[in-house]
Structures are given as C-alpha cells and as structure tokens.
Structure 1
C-alpha cells in the first residue's frame, strides 16, 4: 500500500505529511509538548482537544506558537 502525501505549510515552510496524519500525530512527530503550544490552523485558533480530529488538505496552513515561561 502506498502512502498519499499532502503538502501543507508549517510556519510558512512547506512540509509533506501523510494524508492520514492528524494534527496531533504531526505535532507529536515534530516533538512538540502539546501543553506548551497554541495552534492556528487556516487562520483559526484550535483548542487542543480538537487536535486528533483535524486532518490535512493540500495547502493547509499551520502556525505553531510555543509558550515560553520566564521571570
């Protein structure tokens, strides 16, 4: 069985991912701590409980914002 890929854009950079990959799977693959990021998907902020329900279409755009603590 061959894998079908979509080209999406992550923070403006082209990225090929499997069509069957969810947003949550992608973020874990990229080794993000899901509790420390905010995701904008096609210009909409996504609640983390929805990550597993989002699958990509070609040309989708994702912005990943990392929360950094400090003092």
Structure 2
C-alpha cells in the first residue's frame, strides 16, 4: 500500500502535489473550515488573506470568445 502511494506522489505535477499537501495539512484544513463555516458572513478579504498566507493564486476566468 505504501509503495502505491509513493508511486502516485511521484506522478503528481507541482499543482497536484501542492493540492495534496494542503489537503493533508491539519492547519490549512482547520483554517479553511473556519473560513467556510462563516457562511454568508464570509468576507472576501479574509479569503484573499488566507490564499496569500498559503501561497495560493487563482487565474481570472474570462468569457470564451465567440468564434
């Protein structure tokens, strides 16, 4: 079982490895859970601060061009 997990990790690209790291990190998970439980009271600035603290960045989505 450990060999299979090791092989899967070596097949990950950098973003995939980073996602797995955060998914397994208890501090990140606790901070994310606290942020998400705020519901409608969640402030975008808090989300941005958390993303910056963990080194996350998101590309802007643009509408597809019409052909």
Q: What TM-score, normalized to structure 1? A: 0.22
- Structure having the higher Rg: 2
Greater per-residue helix proportion: 2
- Greater length-normalized contact order (CA 8 Å, ≥ 6 residues apart): 1
Greater per-residue strand proportion: 1
Q: What TM-score, normalized to structure 2? A: 0.23
